Every structure is written in C-alpha cells, then in structure tokens.
Amino acid sequence: MRTLVKGILLLFPISILFLTQKIACATDTLTTTQFIKDGETIISAGGSFALGFFSPSNSNNRYVGIWYQKISIPTVVWVANREVPLVNTSGVLEVIKPGLLVLRNGTNSIIWSTNSSTSVPNPVAQLLETGNLVVKDENQDNLEMFLWQSFDYPTDTFLPGMRLGQNFVTGLEVYLSSWKSYEDPAPGGYTYHCDPTGYPQNFIKKDSSLEFRTGPWNGLGFSGVPSLAKNPIFSYQVVIDNKERWTWDNQTGSWLIYLSAPTDNCDSYGLCGAYGTCNTGNSATCGCLDKFSPKNPEKWANGDRSGGCSRRIPLDCKSGDGFLKYSSLKLPDTRNSSYNTNISLEECRTVCLKNCSCTAYSILDISNGGSGCLLWFGDLIDIKVMSQGGEDIYIRMAYSESVSLQSSVGKKGKKLAISLTLSLAMVLFALGLILYLQRRKKKLAKQKKEELSGHNFSMAYTDEHNKKDLELPLLELSRIIKATNNFSFQNKLGEGGFGPVYKGLLEDGQEVAVKRLSEYSMQGLDEFKNEAICIAKLQHRNLVKLLGCCIEGREKILIYEYMPNKSLDFFIFDQTGRYSLDWPMRFHIIQGIARGLLYLHQDSRLRIIHRDLKASNILLDADMNPKISDFGTARSFGGNETGANTNRVVGTHGYMPPEYAVDGIFSVKSDVFSFGVIVLEIVSGKRNRGFLHHDHQFNLLGHAWKLYKEGRELELVDLHLGDSYNSLQVLRSIQVGLLCVQHGPDDRPDMSSAIFMLGNDGVLPEAKHPGFFMERNVVNEHSSSTQTSSSRGEITMTLLEAR
C-alpha cells in the first residue's frame, strides 16, 4: 500500500487510469430530474475536480469516481462502488428522494447507494471545488448539514480539507484504505488511521497488525515525522474535543514527491521491543535505552531484538523512584496514555511520580515554548533515535539510577535520600575499619577477576611491547569518566554495533568522541583490537584520527577526534540539512572520500578493506571535510593480497556488493561498490535502500542506471540543488558512481582510476548494469513473507508544485 499526499493527498496506491469520459455536464450538481450515464461527467465549479465513470489500468470493469481535472495524468481520488464494479458501460448515477445518490446497472438494479436517516424535499448531489461529493437539500447552504458526503467515506486519498479520526458522538471513524491492486479499487489489506485511543497519533495497519506509527501530535507536527513540520507550503492540525481529526490545507499544480514513509527499518512498528531504541545510523539497528539492558541477552546477541529491554534496576515505587531524561527521540506509542493541557512540566512530573503505574512523561505541546503534560502507562514501545528533530521524554527509573536528586525525584524522594544517607553514615561509623577492609578485599578480588576475563585482553596490553605495538596513548578511565560526565545520556552522540559514542571534553579543553565497547555489542574484543591496532597505523586527512584508548578491567574505550558536523547522512538525507550542501561541497566530499579510500587500498602501511563504508560512517569536520570512520570490521592485507572470503558477512545492506552479500567474497572492489552507492546518494539526496519511485520498483542504483541508459541522468539530481550545479561534474559523478557499482567486481575501477575519472575530462567507459538493481518490494525487504498484492505498506507524501 502506498499512501500519497498529493497537494496534500494520501493515496493507496497510485491509480494510473484509462479514462473515457468525453461529455461534461455544464453544472456541478445533479437533481432528481437529472442523471449521468457512462461517458458523461460533472465538473466542480472551479474546474478542479470531475465526477464520472472510469476503468482502472488493465481492467474492463467500470466504476464511478472523482479525479483531478486540471492535471495531465488523471488520478482518481475517490471511488463510489469500489467493491461492486459495473461489468459494462450501462451504468447510471442519479439522485432519488428522500435524499439518496444511487448507482444503477443495466438491469436498473441499485448496486451502490449513499446512506442517510434524514429526508429532505429537494435533494441534490453536488461536487464541490474541494473534491467533496455531497448530498444535501437544494436550499441548504450550511456546509456542516450535509445528508451525506464523500469526505466521510474516503478511499485511498486524503484530500485537502478532509478529516481523519473518530467522531465520538456518532461513532463514525474516517480512515483510508488501500486499493487491492492497481486493477482493483476494492479495499486492500492496508489502512491509515488517526488513532482515537490515548493521545492522537497516526497508524498504518496491515489487516489488524501495526506497520508504521507517526508518533504523537506535539502541537507542531508528529514526533516521528519531523519533516512534516509546519511550513509555508502546506499546513495541518489535530483537533481534540469530542472528535479527534487530522486536517490539511490545499495546494494545486503538478505532482512532486515530498516525503515517503516508512523510509527505513526503524519505521517498522515495535522493531526493537519495549524500551528498545532503533537507530538506522548504527550497524546494529536496535539498542537499549541508557540504564536498560536486553531482556534476553542470548537472543539479543544472536540478532533477535524483538524481546526488547528492561531496567537494570527494577522500580520500587514505595521506596521512591526518579526520572531520567532522554532526548532526540520519536516518542513511544501513546495508545496507553493520558494528557492534561493545563499543567506545567514540573507538575506533570509530580503527577507521574504519585502514580506507580505511570512510566514516563513529557511536554504535551512544544509550540510557543511548551505546555501541557503527556503521561505514559505500561511499557514504552516503538522508540526511534531521530537524526533531526525528536523530543525529550522523562522515563521512570529506580532511585539509584536517577540523574540527580535535585532534578529527578520529588520532595518525598529527597526526604528519603536524606534519610538513607544518614542511615548509611551511621552504619559506616559503627562498622568502621573492619567493614572498610572487607570491602577493599572484595574490590581487589573483583578487579583481579575482571583482569582475567575478556580473553585476557586488558592484560595483553600492560607490557611495554604491546603498548609500543598499539602506538596509542593509554588514557586513564577516571579521565574519560570526567570528560564525559560519567557517560551521561546528555553527552551521548549515538550508538553503533560497537557500542555507545559520547562527546567528551578533556582537561586541556580538547573535544573528543568516546566509543565505549558495549557489553551487549554485536562487535566484540576482536573488533576492538582490530580497530585500535588498525587505525592507529593510519594517518590521512580523510580518515578520522584515533587519539588514544582506555583498557581498564572490563572497559574497552577508543578516543577519537570530535567531528562537530556529525556524519554525512545527517545532511544528504535530511530535509533541512541538505540545503547546507551545495554542489561544490558535495563534489568536495565525494573527492575526499575517494582520496581516503585510495590511501587505505594503496598508500597505507597495510592494504585496508573497510567492509562497512556508508554515509553514516563518513564524518564531517568543522570545514565539512569528509573523514572515513568505524574500522571495527576492516581487514588488513600484506604483500600483493587484495581480498579474501569469509563465513561471517558484516556490513550494511544497500552498500554491500553482490559477491560479498551472497558468497562472502570481499576485496578492494567491495569498498569501490560502497563508494559508488555513496556517490549516487550524494548526487540524488536519496538512500539506496528504501528508495521509491512511482514508475518502477528499482532501488536507487537501478533508477540511476535506467536514467543513464535513457540519457536522462540529470533527473537524478537532488531537487534541493535547483539549477546551481556544474552539470558536467554531475554527469561525470553519476557515471563514475555507476561504474563503481557494476555487478562484476572485475568491471569496477580501482580507486586511483575513479579519482582520475572524477577530476579529468576524458571519455568514460560505458557502465554495465549495477548489482542488486532488480525490481523488488521495498517495504517487505525485512519480512520473510511474499507479497502478492500490489498494495504496499508505506506513506508517500507528494507535494503539488504551484505553476
């Protein structure tokens, strides 16, 4: 199911039609003395919409529908008899007393009808300029007193002015449902709802299962879709009284894709389970919130993250709990929530603290400085780390896990803290020196045990020989704890397969990035050793610089130079960030990545194959210079070796070449393939994985190659660049990108050739078809089931560009 917002609309799916209407009535209204036959239409007063008979693609069945009249490719936005088609052109649409619109077939039988419990003396049907088909009394001017309106019974399209949600007075829920297929407009398996339970949020459902959630309304937009923040192009809002509805403003013009969702695996509902966080920027997509750990560590380590996470220390409401603040998140599912629009955030905390069932709270409305209170009850599900936007949430924790007594506990907690502190002081005073010696003995025994654990890795680096081999400064753990404010959540930059990354400030004022090996990391000691030893020997302006490491007990930490502009994906895939990257800057980044790879493959002490090159592993310094990072899965070779094979394929789908993903064969040409993907992503501003296009089901590589073969390469360019780019550089970059992603590794250039082709004006060889470009079902890539219908579980938001 595809949901399209077209100016602004939601469609499930796109309906390309063979339309046969040729006769148009001069009026927008049908009375009881008029009717329209197949081949005739009525047109709204301003000419924007038409109502008539049509046949979908590859179908002879006939339906009554509404479509945009002024757009060159007619797109049906509403269907009357979607479940009962006419089998020929004998259909007639008419209005009958006491106030019904009916569709008759060739035998004069009614096959579809509106419903109404009210009768009027002079019923008429009118097609409004909004695209709303209404039945009313001929003399009735009140737009809220219709006998019936199509806006209350939408099909797959969310038109401007339409409302989604539930009327709690009448019980009517207005929602969208997909077409069963391109040929059949009958309701498909996917539906789109403004959920009426808890605090408003929107869902895509497949049958009864949840597929995608927008996050709750925050006064400006939905917390999980920050790209839909209010802007000058369109507007929408949520109205909360006895009804919960989502409304949109109007646009007219031609189609332009604005936004698609789901965009990645993290948009799949509840992927990481309760208290799990989903982050597409990490090698391991699922992680646990800080102070939480996997419920089932064994399954978690094996890649099954659906069981979610749990608190390291259970709650104890009677003894007093506190709260931890988590930032930049898509807020959890709010179906089991409550809200209060009239209290402050501090009052919200007090309310939550007094209720042992309350698990979290946040600001309700972030507009105008923030106001109101949103409370969660039960487990927190479907949390996503947001690369842009995101909100703060305060999650209930055991007292000992609270950030501070002053900010995280209430008055009761403070009194309890003082009492506990005094009690502890009395006990320590009574036990004195004996207790101190016992604790010291246990501590020494624990340290010894830790030093012996972890394959003796920490001990392996205590002698001078191995320190010299590591060629890195060894920092004390105490310095790192101080630099990162004890690994506080506020200092957390993100999390990868290695573990969490924190921003730190050393005593001399130097900013650093601190990578801390997680206990539950999919990577382990081998990867830590590999990255520490490998990158310590690498020095290049386009590689991130490793400043030092820390190995104490079970702590394994790497300290890197800090990159203030984060990673490349924060710019090229971000609705706001992409405006910061003009074409000269993008080309500069492409060349910098290429030079860094050339150094790894050819000019470094050892030949290095990165094996996980992707946009999120390209960091940007203050001057937007690209630096390749994350060498945990890299492999080094000596002599004339250029590759190997493995039974353990590591990396990120969408960037891996076919021979590696399928057979485990990797080489320098594997990195060349990944580089080609990144080049095409930089040019287009689109991700290869999850790429959507209305004309086909190719990924970005297939789309680029299709345009290349048709001589339309410039259509790939990110629309945000406008016309301000060097077309020759762009064309050369696209062709070099396609040469790098060719299916056969022997066909791909090495990095020295790629750099030469990017910087010179010679004739380039013709690109062959890329790897992994065949048509596929994008949405169900993560599912093992096969989709036979053309309905697809995703939202595509398409903007109408005014002419």
Asked if pLDDT for residue 429 goes beyond 90, the answer is no
Give the pLDDT confidence score for residue 318 in this predicted structure: 81
d(CA 710, CA 704): 10
Predicted pLDDT at 158: 87
Residue, of 6 and 357, whose pLDDT is higher = 357
Question: What mean pLDDT do residues 541-545 have?
Answer: 91
pLDDT top residue among 257 and 101:
101
pLDDT of the residue at 241: 64
DSSP code of residue 387: S
* CA pair distance 151, 164, nearest whole angstrom: 9
Which one is predicted more confidently, 200 or 9?
A: 200
User: What angle do helix axes 727-740 and 751-759 make, rounded to 10 degrees?
Assistant: 160
User: Burial level of 580, CB count in 10 A (0-12/13-18/19+)?
Assistant: middle
User: What's residue 144's pLDDT?
Assistant: 59
pLDDT of residue 232: 53
CA angle 40, 120, 112 (to 5 degrees): 45
Does the CA dihedral 437-443-444-445 come out positive or negative? positive
Residue 189 predicted with pLDDT over 70: yes
Provide the CATH topology of domain 457-561.
Phosphorylase Kinase; domain 1 (3.30.200)
Higher pLDDT, 299 or 450: 299
pLDDT, tens digit (0-9, with 9 covering 90-100), for 601-634: 888 777 888 888 999 999 999 889 999 988 877 7
Q: What is the pLDDT of residues 289-343, one digit of tens each?
A: 999 999 998 888 888 888 999 999 999 888 789 999 999 999 999 999 999 999 9
Instruction: Reply yes or no on whether the pLDDT at 10 is more than 60.
Output: no
User: What does the pLDDT read at residue 235?
Assistant: 66
Amino acid of residue 252: T
Domain 2-252 has CATH 2.90.10.10: yes
Residue 446 has pLDDT above 70, yes or no: no
CATH superfamily of 569-772: Transferase(Phosphotransferase) domain 1 (1.10.510.10)
Distance CA 394, CA 384 (A): 15
Higher pLDDT, 139 or 416: 139
More confident residue, 646 or 342: 342
The pair of three-digit structure tokens given for residue 342, joined into one six-digit string: 């009239």
- Res 147 pLDDT > 60: yes
Higher pLDDT, 282 or 122: 122
Confidence bin at 467 (pLDDT 50/70/90): very low
pLDDT tens-digit series, residues 214-267: 999 888 888 888 766 655 556 677 877 654 444 444 444 455 555 666 777 888
Distance from C-alpha of 319 to C-alpha of 670, rounded to nearest angstrom: 56
User: Does the pLDDT value for residue 151 go beyond 90?
Assistant: yes
pLDDT in the model for residue 419 = 57
Least confident of 242-251, 294-303, 530-539, 701-710: 242-251
Domain ranges of the chain: 2-252, 276-403, 457-561, 569-772
Arithmetic mean of pLDDT, 745-774: 88
Reported as type and span, the H/E element at residue 785 is none
- Interacting residues of 373 by C-beta distance below 8 A, sequence separation 6+: 339, 340, 341, 343, 344, 345, 347, 348, 351, 361, 363, 364
- Selected catalytic residue, list 612, 630, 671, 718: 612
Given a cut of 90, whether residue 439 has pLDDT beyond it is no
Is residue 422 within 8 Å of 334, Cβ to Cβ?
no
Does residue 557 have a cis peptide bond before it, meaning omega lies within 30 degrees of 0? Answer: no
Phi, psi angles (nearest 5°) of residue 477: -60, -35
Task: Note the pLDDT of residue 801.
Answer: 31
Q: Does residue 44 surpass a pLDDT of 80?
A: yes
Closest CA to 781 of 715, 646, 772, 41: 772
What is the residue-averaged pLDDT of the chain?
A: 80
Q: Which segment, 25-29, 181-185, 231-235, is predicted with the most confidence on average?
A: 181-185
β-pair type (321-330, 383-385): antiparallel
Whole-angstrom distance, CA of residue 3 vs CA of residue 156 = 7
Residue 19: predicted pLDDT: 38
- What is the token pair recorded at 783? 């599912």
DSSP classification of residue 603: I
Secondary element (H or E) of residue 730: helix 727-740
Give the span between the Cα atoms of 149 and 126, in whole angstroms: 10
| DSSP secondary structure code for residue 76 in this structure | E
> Is the per-residue pLDDT at 366 higher than 80?
yes
- How many angstroms separate the CA atoms of 770 and 704, rounded? 9
Average pLDDT over residues 665-685: 94
Distance between CA atoms of 736 and 607, rounded to whole angstroms? 23
Residue 250, pLDDT score: 41
Mean pLDDT of 399-408: 55
Read off the pLDDT band of 196 (50, 70, 90).
Answer: confident
pTM above threshold 0.85: no
Q: Given this model, what pLDDT does residue 223 score? A: 87
Above pLDDT 90, what percent of the chain? 44
Catalytic residue flag (residue 603) = no
Provide the terminal-to-terminal Cα distance of the chain, rounded to the nearest Å: 29
